[in-house]
Structure 1
Amino acid sequence: MAAKSRCIILGASHAAAQLAPTLRQQGWTGSISMISNEYALPYHRPPLSKDYLAGTKTAEQILIRPAAVYSKCNVGITMGVTAAAIDRSNKQLLLDDGMALDYDKLVLTTGARVRKIDIPGVDLNGVFYLRDLNDAQQIKMFTGANKRAVIIGGGYIGLETASALRKLGMQVTVLEAMPRILQRVTAPEVAAFYSRIHAEEGVEIVADVQAVSISGAKQVESVQCHDGTEYEADIVIIGVGVIPNTELAEQAGLKIDNGIVVDEYARTSDEDILAAGDCTSHYNPIYQRHLRLESVQNALDQASVAANTICGNLKPYSALPWFWSDQYDLKLQIAGLSQGYTDVVVRGDIDGSRSFAAFYMREGKLLAVDAVNRPQEFMFGKKLIMQGNQLDTAQLADDSLSLKTLLTS
């Protein structure tokens, strides 16, 4: 690319923070512009429901990179503006303030937004979703010892938020519409473990219950459920999933299928427009299907692939998905995807301790592992998944044996 070439990164996400400096490292000498509808530099989002909400980290401490890094890389950052359209024929990004920005390469790192619920009272003061820094800052204004919080949604975000609020001394109730928490993402054994831990920590979890309304005079006072139960609340936090931000790409005629479809080089159906992160759908050769992943790992790896592609250095994306969740003194590390499993092999005392590993199996092969305070099982689990061999489940379950013995050379 010539020095005059222009690359625009839309969205100040994890992917954007990785992409900009990687472009420079790979030799991009043209201009780099980052456009964001937020008013903060790219920051780590996982701490929003953990350290930031609990007050153990400040907004400055959760920045992915300090401002000096972007200055050193000569990255221009425009905050507080929203993209209105992509004009592919003229290779321009149109902003809602009337500006039209020319690009040679455009990278969409637009992430995802919260899924909202439509029930009476959802707009009351004291009702929040938790997705960005502004959400977390507002939530903190309603926290305090002995205050009552109701969390709607028993997924990882809801449980992490419950953990953070308990650390602040709040009374916490989690309402989950499905028969158990974490139903879409874990085995019943793992869900039971987290239900036990949260109960021990003083959190009330109510499953198989649907919130139907939120009541209050000037601000939230209680949540009503379909079975007639009511829960008093000084604050309500809703965490029921996210929706990928694909509208701009769809309006521009790019291929969409549960995300912006990209190839193994992070290219969309327009070779001059790339995408990375939560907003994308990509083919994963390990699981042999298209995936849309909501993970920091995916955002970082895919952004690096996109930067290499832009600089003419084609390196296909084929990483094993992995995730994590921090709750209380528990670090859950997840390797792989468990969908389609037929058996679960548990290593460790899942019923009485705070440390175990659950291996998700199908036809004798390992699909995924959930490791709680078990970094060795997480590390070896990743290697075992990649090898794809038939495994001895008795050895997997035997806590006295090293998993290293299951690895082939």
Structure 2
Amino acid sequence: MTEPTFVIVGASLAGAKAAETLREEGFTGRIVLLGDDHRRPYERPPLSKDLLLGKTEAGVPYVHEAGWYAEHDVDLRVGTRVTHVDRERKTVRTAAGEEIGYHRLLLATGSRPRDLPVPGVELGNVLTLRTLDDSDRLAEILTDGARLTIVGSGWIGLEIAAAARGRGVAVTVVTPESAPLQHVLGDELAAVFGSLHRKHGVDFRYRTHVAELRGDGDVTQVVLDDGTVLDTDYVLIAVGAEPNVELAEQAGLAVDGGVLVDAQHRTSDADVFAAGDIANIDHPLLGHRVRVEHWANALQSGPAAARAMLDRGTPWDHLPYFFTDQYELGMEYAGWVPPGVPAELVVRGSLDALEAVVFWTVEGRVAAGMNINVWEVTDQIQDLVRAGLAGQRIDLARLADAAVELPELLK
């Protein structure tokens, strides 16, 4: 009997961890891992953190050593773009015209930076950050005395702002919001991040949009919609990301804000799975569909999808999690507040001192938590979130009291 072939499209963290899990679970069939990046799979968080800061001791964040793929009989093909999926014939076709048959297929095609539709965006030195090459380019040009304009005040924009200020770069952030991360964290915590960046010399232009980029070859000016003209050497567009769902759409899979998958990462085709940034999962724990673009989701969903491909899957129960490091602030966040649901903020510790644990509560139940420069409490925060999802209410006064140990709140 011919051994089955499992094809993974997306040589990403999710794709690489899926291949690793297939072998760990004893799969002996053929694994083909296809990626359009010219490098083997790597992790992305260091691209806007350690690598951009020039901390070369961290090294390139490859998922596996170079020899791992051959040693584990994984047919890794970098620089290979898949353009077509034929679900009836169970084949994928590459841009070079090669057809590869599959028994089961995993899509882990990730996301890409969202475009900024303004005149001049095609000028030189207008940059985005997604790949290791992008990070290398930024690390090369962000030198003392350079002027950088960042369009967008989300996580990537702020992390790059922090790294750039650490390298002596003059940074201006243009955002339609009235504070950074306002739509994500709310007014009180957005003010904390805004104050932190201003303290380190970042110039914010709030409640404004970019109308035009100007320059002769390379960008030299950013024109705002209020008529302000900013002189600049570089522009970084960081206005969010969008999932690479075109291949799934071409294949006729169900897509809505991402590739629709069940609790085991199976798409509308029983032999096709999706993981990582593109997967819009029917989350049994949250009781809602969610699509998460952060590192932990890729790390965990690739293996989960791999087990499901082997018919050994279990319902997805991981909580959304992400982290950031900016200047002297380190933060972890776990949980999920349903869209449009009002949440009460509970703070234990001091936001002014940047040492606190913050909780979002809904009707007395913990929905999410963020630890700021308070470590080794993530598991405890997640326990509180899981208890909240199960319906347990918490005494909010005790929740705010740092003298009460977090595990005591569940007793």
Q: TM-score range by the shorter chain?
A: over 0.9
Counterpart in the other structure of 1:137: 136
| 1:236 maps onto 2:226 in alignment | no
CA deviation vs aligned residue, 1:150-189 (integer Å, no higher than 9, x gap): 1000001000000111111111111111222112210211
Q: Structure 1-normalised TM-score?
A: 0.96
Q: Structure 2-normalised TM-score?
A: 0.95
| 1:372 maps onto 2:372 in alignment | yes
Match runs of 1:113-152 below 5 Å: 113-152=112-151
1:154, 1:181 within 8 Å by CA — same for their partners in 2?
Answer: yes
Counterpart in the other structure of 1:342: 343
Equivalent position amino acid for 2:192 in 1: F
Counterpart in the other structure of 1:15: 14
2:146, 2:169 within 8 Å by CA — same for their partners in 1?
Answer: yes
Counterpart in the other structure of 1:386: 386
| 1:107 maps onto 2:110 in alignment | no
Equivalent position amino acid for 1:356 in 2: A
| 1:29 maps onto 2:32 in alignment | no
Which blocks of at least 5 consecutive residues in structure 1 are unaligned? none
1:3, 1:29 within 8 Å by CA — same for their partners in 2?
Answer: no
**What's the CA shift for 1:377?**
4.1
**What's the CA shift for 1:60?**
4.8
| 1:406 maps onto 2:409 in alignment | yes
2:51, 2:139 within 8 Å by CA — same for their partners in 1?
Answer: no
Tell me the secondary structure at the aligned position of residue 163 of structure 1. Answer: helix
CA deviation vs aligned residue, 1:232-259 (integer Å, no higher than 9, x gap): 2111101011111111111111111111
CA distance in 1, matches of 2:149, 2:337: 29
Which blocks of at least 5 consecutive residues in structure 2 are unaligned? none
Counterpart in the other structure of 1:190: 189
Equivalent position amino acid for 2:403 in 1: S
CA distance in 1, matches of 2:166, 2:382: 32
Equivalent position amino acid for 1:136 in 2: S
CA distance in 1, matches of 2:178, 2:194: 12
Moved more, 31-40 or 179-188: 179-188
| 1:306 maps onto 2:311 in alignment | no
1:190, 1:358 within 8 Å by CA — same for their partners in 2?
Answer: no
**What's the CA shift for 1:318?**
1.5
Task: Count residues in correspondence.
Answer: 406
CA deviation vs aligned residue, 1:112-171 (integer Å, no higher than 9, x gap): 111101111111111101111122222233211011111000001000000111111111
CA distance in 2, matches of 1:196, 1:128: 26
Identity %: 36
CA distance in 1, matches of 2:371, 2:204: 22
CA distance in 2, matches of 1:168, 1:278: 30
Residues 93 and 60 of structure 1, relative CA distance in 2, 3 Å threshold: farther
RMSD: 1.5
Counterpart in the other structure of 1:50: 49
CA deviation vs aligned residue, 1:31-90 (integer Å, no higher than 9, x gap): 111111110111111111111111113795311221222222111111112111101111
Runs of 4+ in structure 1 over 6 Å off: none
CA distance in 1, matches of 2:319, 2:232: 41
